[in-house]
Structure 1
Amino acid sequence: MKKWSTFLLLLTALSIGNNSNAQSFQKTDLGIKATINSTAIEIQYYNPSTVRVLKSPDGRPFTKESLSVIKTPQKTTFQVKQQGDWVNLKTTALNIALNLKTGAIIYSTVHDEYLLKEKQEGVQFTPFNDAGNNTFTVQQSFELDNDEPIYGLGQQQQGKMSQRNVTLNMVQGNLDDYIPFFQSVKGYGVFWDNYSPTVFTDNPQGTSFKSDVGDGVDYYFMYGGNADGVIARMRELTGQAPLFPLWTFGYWQSKERYKSQDELVEVVKQYRKMGVPLDGIIQDWQYWGSNYLWNAMDFLNAEFPKPEKMVSDVHQMNAHMIISIWNSFGPQTKQYKELDKIGALMNFSTWPQSGSDLWPPRRDYPSGVRVYDPYNPAARDIYWKYLEHMYKLRLDGWWMDSSEPDHLDAKPSDFDNKTYLGSFRKVRNAFPLMTVGGVSTHQRAIDSGKRVFILTRSAFAGQQRYGANTWSGDVTSSWNALMNQISAGLNFSLTGIPYWNADIGGFFLSRFKRKLEDPEYRELYVRWLQFGAFTPMMRSHGADAPREIYQFGQKGNTYYDAIEKYINLRYHLLPYIYSTSWDVTANQSSMMRALVMDFPKDKNALDLNDEFMFGRSLLVSPVTNAMYVKPVPGEKETIQAEDFSEIKSKTTYLPDGTDWYDFWTAEKFSGGQKVSRQTPLDIIPVYVKAGTVMPVGPSVQYAEEKKWDSLEIRVYPGANGKFVLYEDENDNYNYERGVYATVTFTWDDTKKMLTISDRNGSFPGMIGERKFNVVMVTGHTNKVIAYTGKKIVVKF
Structure 2
Amino acid sequence: MKKPTRLLNLLVLLTLAACAESPYQKIDDGIIINVEQPQDAGARRVRLQVLGDKLIHVSATPEKEFPRDSSLIIVPGLQTVPFSIEDIGDSVMLSTAKLKAVVSRSDGGIRFKDKAGKVILAEKQGGGRSFTPIEADGTKGYSVRQLFDSPADEAFYGLGQHQADEFNYKGKSEELFQYNTKVSVPFIVSNKNYGLLWDSYSLSRFGDSREYRQLNETFILYDKEGRQGGLTGTYVSPAPERPRLERKEESLYFEDIKTIRNLPENFPLKEADVTYEGTIEAQHDGTYRFILYYAGYVKVYLNDELVVPERWRTAWNPNSYKFTFDLESGKKVPLRIEWKPDGGKSYFGLRVQPPLEEEEQDSQIWWSEMNKKIDYYFVYGESMDEIIGGYRTLTGKSRIMPKWAMGFWQSRERYKTQDEILGTLKEFRDRKIPIDNIVLDWNHWPEDAWGSHEFDKSRFPDPKAMVDSIHAMHGKMMISVWPKFYATTEHYKEFDSKGWMYRQAVKDSIRDWVGPGYVGSFYDAYAPGARKLFWNQIYEHYYPLGIDAWWMDASEPNILDCTDMEYRKALSGPTALGSSTEYFNAYALMNAEAIYEGQRSVDPDKRVFLLTRSGFAGLQRYSTATWSGDIATRWEDMKAQISAGLNFAMSGIPYWTMDIGGFCVESRYVGAQLEYDRSGKENADLKEWRELNARWYQFGAFAPLYRAHGQFPYREPWHIAPEGHPAYDAILYYTDLRYRLMPYIYTLSGMTYFDDYTMMRPLVMDFGDDKKVENISDQFMFGPAFMVCPVYQYQARSREVYFPDGTNWYDFYTGQSVTGGQQLKVDAPYDRIPLYIREGAIIPIGPDIQYSDEKPAETIVLYVYRGQNGSFTLYEDEGVNYNYEKGDYSTISFNYNDTEGTLTIGERKGAFDGMLRERKFIIVPVSREDPRSFQYTDQGKQVNYDGKQQIIEL
Which TM-score applies when normalising by structure 1? Answer: 0.92
- Report the AA paired with residue 675 of structure 1: L
- Where structure 2 has 5 or more consecutive residues not aligned to the other structure, the ranges are 1-20, 209-355, 677-685, 933-938
Task: Give the counterpart of 1:442 among 590, 598, 606.
Answer: 598
Superposed structure 1 runs of 4+ greater than 6 Å apart: none
- Conserved? CA contact 1:136–1:216, under 8 Å: yes
Q: Are 1:249 and 2:401 matched, yes or no?
A: no
Task: Give the counterpart of 1:395 among 529, 544, 547.
Answer: 547
- Conserved? CA contact 1:245–1:730, under 8 Å: yes
Task: Give the counterpart of 1:382 among 533, 537, 544.
Answer: 533
TM-aligned CA deviation for residue 511 of structure 1: 5.6
Distance (Å, rounded) in 2 between the aligned partners of 1:515 and 1:533: 26
- Report the AA paired with residue 746 of structure 1: N
Task: Give the counterpart of 1:269 among 426, 438, 448.
Answer: 426
- Conserved? CA contact 1:295–1:329, under 8 Å: yes
Question: Does the C-alpha gap of structure 1 residues 356 and 157 become closer, same or farther in structure 2, counting only changes over 3 Å?
Answer: closer
The residue correspondences of 1:118-137 to structure 2 (distance < 5 A) are: 118-121=123-126, 122-137=128-143
Question: Does the C-alpha gap of structure 1 residues 353 and 627 become closer, same or farther in structure 2, counting only changes over 3 Å?
Answer: farther
- Report the AA paired with residue 390 of structure 2: R
Q: Which residue of 1 aligns with 2:363?
A: 206
- Superposition CA RMSD, Å: 1.7
TM-aligned CA deviation for residue 76 of structure 1: 2.3
The residue correspondences of 1:513-532 to structure 2 (distance < 5 A) are: 513=669, 514-516=671-673, 518-532=686-700
- Conserved? CA contact 2:150–2:362, under 8 Å: no
Q: Which residue of 1 aligns with 2:380?
A: 223
Q: Are 1:163 and 2:169 matched, yes or no?
A: yes
Q: Which residue of 2 aligns with 1:651?
A: 800
Q: Which residue of 2 aligns with 1:181?
A: 187
Distance (Å, rounded) in 2 between the aligned partners of 1:411 and 1:554: 46
**DSSP 3-state at the match of 1:474:** coil
Q: Which residue of 1 aligns with 2:892?
A: 743
- Conserved? CA contact 1:23–1:101, under 8 Å: no
The residue correspondences of 1:191-590 to structure 2 (distance < 5 A) are: 191-202=197-208, 204=361, 206-290=363-447, 292-349=448-505, 354=511, 357-358=514-515, 366-388=517-539, 389-408=541-560, 409-410=563-564, 412=566, 415=569, 417-510=573-666, 512-513=668-669, 514-516=671-673, 518-590=686-758
TM-aligned CA deviation for residue 356 of structure 1: 5.7
Q: Which residue of 2 aligns with 1:624?
A: 792
- Conserved? CA contact 2:151–2:362, under 8 Å: no
Distance (Å, rounded) in 2 between the aligned partners of 1:140 and 1:268: 53
- Report the AA paired with residue 582 of structure 1: G
TM-aligned CA deviation for residue 119 of structure 1: 1.1
- Report the AA paired with residue 793 of structure 2: N
TM-aligned CA deviation for residue 540 of structure 1: 0.5
TM-aligned CA deviation for residue 601 of structure 1: 0.8
Distance (Å, rounded) in 2 between the aligned partners of 1:343 and 1:149: 46
Distance (Å, rounded) in 2 between the aligned partners of 1:56 and 1:160: 33
**DSSP 3-state at the match of 2:125:** strand
**DSSP 3-state at the match of 2:534:** helix
Which TM-score applies when normalising by structure 2? Answer: 0.77
- Conserved? CA contact 2:876–2:891, under 8 Å: yes
TM-aligned CA deviation for residue 679 of structure 1: 1.1
TM-aligned CA deviation for residue 553 of structure 1: 3.2
TM-aligned CA deviation for residue 332 of structure 1: 2.1
Cα deviations across residues 680-736 of structure 1 (Å, max 9, x unaligned)? 111101110100111001111111112100110100001111111111111111111
Distance (Å, rounded) in 2 between the aligned partners of 1:184 and 1:788: 45
Task: Give the counterpart of 1:665 among 789, 814, 817.
Answer: 814
Distance (Å, rounded) in 1 between the aligned partners of 2:378 and 2:118: 15
Distance (Å, rounded) in 2 between the aligned partners of 1:378 and 1:523: 49
Cα deviations across residues 294-352 of structure 1 (Å, max 9, x unaligned)? 13212135201100011011100001110001011111222100001011111345999
Distance (Å, rounded) in 1 between the aligned partners of 2:550 and 2:200: 28
Question: Does the C-alpha gap of structure 1 residues 240 and 627 become closer, same or farther in structure 2, counting only changes over 3 Å?
Answer: same
**DSSP 3-state at the match of 2:586:** helix
TM-aligned CA deviation for residue 563 of structure 1: 0.9
Task: Give the counterpart of 2:151 among 145, 148, 156.
Answer: 145
**DSSP 3-state at the match of 1:437:** helix
Deviates more, 1:534-543 or 1:445-454: 445-454
Question: Does the C-alpha gap of structure 1 residues 205 and 743 become closer, same or farther in structure 2, counting only changes over 3 Å?
Answer: closer
Cα deviations across residues 160-186 of structure 1 (Å, max 9, x unaligned)? 211112222211111111011111011
Distance (Å, rounded) in 2 between the aligned partners of 1:468 and 1:414: 25
TM-aligned CA deviation for residue 59 of structure 1: 2.1
Distance (Å, rounded) in 2 between the aligned partners of 1:131 and 1:413: 13
- Report the AA paired with residue 490 of structure 1: L
Q: Are 1:24 and 2:10 matched, yes or no?
A: no
Distance (Å, rounded) in 2 between the aligned partners of 1:301 and 1:510: 33
Question: Does the C-alpha gap of structure 1 residues 548 and 448 become closer, same or farther in structure 2, counting only changes over 3 Å?
Answer: same
Q: Which residue of 1 aligns with 2:255?
A: none
Cα deviations across residues 576-600 of structure 1 (Å, max 9, x unaligned)? 0001111111000100011111011
Cα deviations across residues 635-658 of structure 1 (Å, max 9, x unaligned)? xxxxxxxxxxxxx21121011001
Distance (Å, rounded) in 1 between the aligned partners of 2:940 and 2:825: 29
Deviates more, 1:748-757 or 1:555-564: 555-564
Q: Which residue of 2 aligns with 1:645?
A: none
- Conserved? CA contact 1:592–1:614, under 8 Å: yes
Deviates more, 1:382-391 or 1:714-723: 382-391
Question: Does the C-alpha gap of structure 1 residues 414 and 525 become closer, same or farther in structure 2, counting only changes over 3 Å?
Answer: closer
TM-aligned CA deviation for residue 205 of structure 1: 5.1
- Conserved? CA contact 1:649–1:677, under 8 Å: yes
**DSSP 3-state at the match of 1:162:** coil
Deviates more, 1:164-173 or 1:55-64: 55-64
Equivalenced residue count is 749
Question: Does the C-alpha gap of structure 1 residues 777 and 338 become closer, same or farther in structure 2, counting only changes over 3 Å?
Answer: same
Question: Does the C-alpha gap of structure 1 residues 355 and 612 become closer, same or farther in structure 2, counting only changes over 3 Å?
Answer: closer
TM-aligned CA deviation for residue 759 of structure 1: 0.9
Deviates more, 1:131-140 or 1:178-187: 131-140
Q: Which residue of 1 aligns with 2:13?
A: none
Q: Which residue of 2 aligns with 1:782?
A: 940
- Report the AA paired with residue 824 of structure 2: V
Distance (Å, rounded) in 2 between the aligned partners of 1:415 and 1:355: 18
Q: Which residue of 2 aligns with 1:14?
A: none
- Conserved? CA contact 1:175–1:475, under 8 Å: yes
- Conserved? CA contact 2:693–2:720, under 8 Å: no
- Report the AA paired with residue 622 of structure 1: P
Deviates more, 1:548-557 or 1:124-133: 548-557
TM-aligned CA deviation for residue 113 of structure 1: 2.1
- Conserved? CA contact 1:509–1:515, under 8 Å: no
- Report the AA paired with residue 519 of structure 1: K
Distance (Å, rounded) in 2 between the aligned partners of 1:78 and 1:301: 64
Q: Which residue of 1 aligns with 2:837?
A: 688
Question: Does the C-alpha gap of structure 1 residues 787 and 483 become closer, same or farther in structure 2, counting only changes over 3 Å?
Answer: same
- Report the AA paired with residue 621 of structure 1: C
- Where structure 1 has 5 or more consecutive residues not aligned to the other structure, the ranges are 1-21, 359-364, 629-647
Question: Does the C-alpha gap of structure 1 residues 396 and 561 become closer, same or farther in structure 2, counting only changes over 3 Å?
Answer: same
Question: Does the C-alpha gap of structure 1 residues 72 and 219 become closer, same or farther in structure 2, counting only changes over 3 Å?
Answer: farther
Q: Indicate the percent of aligned positions where both proteins have the same amino acid.
A: 39
TM-aligned CA deviation for residue 792 of structure 1: 1.1
